[in-house]
Structure 1
Amino acid sequence: MTDSPYERLRAEAEEGHVEEVIVSVPDLQGRLQGSRLSVPYFLDEAAEQGFGACVYLLASDVEMGTGSGYAIDAWQSGFGDFVLRPDPATLRTLPWDPGTALVLADAVWPSGEPVEVAPRQILRTQLDRLAERGLTAFAGTELEFLIFRGSYRQAWDRRYQGLETATTYNVDYSLQGLAEIEPVVRRIRREMVRAGLNMETARGECHAGQYEIVFRYDEAMTTCDNHVVFKNGAKQIAAQEGVALTFMPKYDEGEGNSCHIHLSLRGKDGSAVLADPAAEDGMSELMRHFVAGQLACLPDFALLMAPNINSYKRLQPGAFAPTGITWGQDNRTCPVRVVGSGHSLRIEHRVPGGDANPYLAVAAAVAAGLYGIENGLDVPAPHTANALADPSVPRLPSTLTEALHRWENSEIAAKVFGEAVVGHYAQAARTELAAFETAVTDWERVRGFERL
Structure 2
Amino acid sequence: MTSSNSRLLDLDDLCQRIDTGHIDTVIVAFTDMQGRLQGKRFHGRYFRDIVADHGTEGCNYLLSVDVEMNTVGGYAMSSWDTGYGDMEFVLDPGTIRVLAHLPHTAMIQCDLRQLGGGAVAQSPRTILQQQQERARGVGLQALAGTELEFIVFDTTYEQAWNDGYRDLTPSNQYNIDYSILGTTRIEPLLRDIRNTAYAAGMNVEGAKGECNLGQHEIGFLYDDVLTTADNHAVYKTMAKEIAAQHGKALTFMAKYNEREGNSCHIHLSLRGTDGSIVFGDGRHRSQLYEHFIAGILGTLRDFTLLYAPNVNSYKRFATGSFAPTTIAWGTDNRSCALRLVGGGPSARVENRVPGGDANPYLALAAMLGAGLYGIEHELELEPELVGNAYDSGLPTIPATLRDARAEFNESEVARSILGDEVVDHYTHMADVELRAFDAAVTDWELRRSFERM
Report the equivalent of 2:33: 28
Report the equivalent of 2:432: 431
1: CA distance between counterparts of 2:47 and 2:61? 23
User: What's the CA shift string for 1:319-377, capped at 9, x where partnerless?
Assistant: 22000101011111111111001111000010000000000000000011011111110
1: CA distance between counterparts of 2:127 and 2:215? 31
Q: State TM-score, norm by structure 2.
A: 0.97
1: CA distance between counterparts of 2:76 and 2:291? 33
2: CA distance between counterparts of 1:43 and 1:161? 45
User: What's the CA shift string for 1:68-113, capped at 9, x where partnerless?
Assistant: 2223223222221100001011111101111111111100011230
User: What's the CA shift string for 1:413-438, capped at 9, x where partnerless?
Assistant: 11111111000000100000000000
1: CA distance between counterparts of 2:446 and 2:320? 25
Identity among equivalent positions (%) equals 51
- Superposition pairs of residues 300-319 of structure 1, within 5 angstroms: 300-319=302-321
Report the equivalent of 1:203: 208
Give 1:4 shift: 7.1
Q: State TM-score, norm by structure 1.
A: 0.97
**Equivalent position SS for 2:149:** strand
Counterpart code for 1:321: A
Report the equivalent of 1:340: 342
Residues 9 and 97 of structure 2 are in contact (CA less than 8 Å); yes or no, is this contact kept in structure 1?
A: no
1: CA distance between counterparts of 2:184 and 2:380? 49
- Superposition pairs of residues 398-409 of structure 1, within 5 angstroms: 398-409=399-410
Contiguous gaps of at least 5 residues in structure 1: none
Residues 78 and 85 of structure 2 are in contact (CA less than 8 Å); yes or no, is this contact kept in structure 1?
A: no
Contiguous gaps of at least 5 residues in structure 2: 1-7
Asked if 1:224 corresponds to 2:229, the answer is yes
**Equivalent position SS for 1:372:** helix
Report the equivalent of 2:218: 213
Give 1:12 shift: 1.0
Residues 194 and 206 of structure 2 are in contact (CA less than 8 Å); yes or no, is this contact kept in structure 1?
A: no
**Equivalent position SS for 2:311:** coil
Give 1:67 shift: 2.1
Counterpart code for 2:312: N
1: CA distance between counterparts of 2:15 and 2:293? 46
Give 1:189 shift: 0.9
Asked if 1:355 corresponds to 2:366, the answer is no
Counterpart code for 1:359: Y
Give 1:201 shift: 2.2
Aligned-residue Cα RMSD (Å) equals 1.2
Shift in CA distance, 186/133, structure 1 to aligned 2, threshold 3 Å: same
Report the equivalent of 1:444: 445
2: CA distance between counterparts of 1:93 and 1:364? 30
**Equivalent position SS for 1:300:** helix
Asked if 1:321 corresponds to 2:323, the answer is yes
2: CA distance between counterparts of 1:35 and 1:359? 21
**Equivalent position SS for 2:239:** helix
User: What's the CA shift string for 1:28-71, capped at 9, x where partnerless?
Assistant: 01100000112232223222322010101111111112222223
Which aligned runs of 4 or more in structure 1 are off by greater than 4 angstroms?
none
From 256, 259, 269, the counterpart of 1:264: 269
Instruction: Identify the range of structure 1 (406-415 vs 170-179) with the bigger mean alpha-carbon deviation.
Output: 170-179
Report the equivalent of 1:235: 240
Give 1:15 shift: 2.0
Give 1:270 shift: 0.3
Residues 6 and 43 of structure 1 are in contact (CA less than 8 Å); yes or no, is this contact kept in structure 2?
A: no
Counterpart code for 2:394: V
Give 1:196 shift: 0.9
2: CA distance between counterparts of 1:84 and 1:431? 26
Residues 67 and 75 of structure 1 are in contact (CA less than 8 Å); yes or no, is this contact kept in structure 2?
A: no
2: CA distance between counterparts of 1:199 and 1:71? 40
- Superposition pairs of residues 47-196 of structure 1, within 5 angstroms: 47-196=52-201
Asked if 1:415 corresponds to 2:420, the answer is no
Counterpart code for 1:124: Q
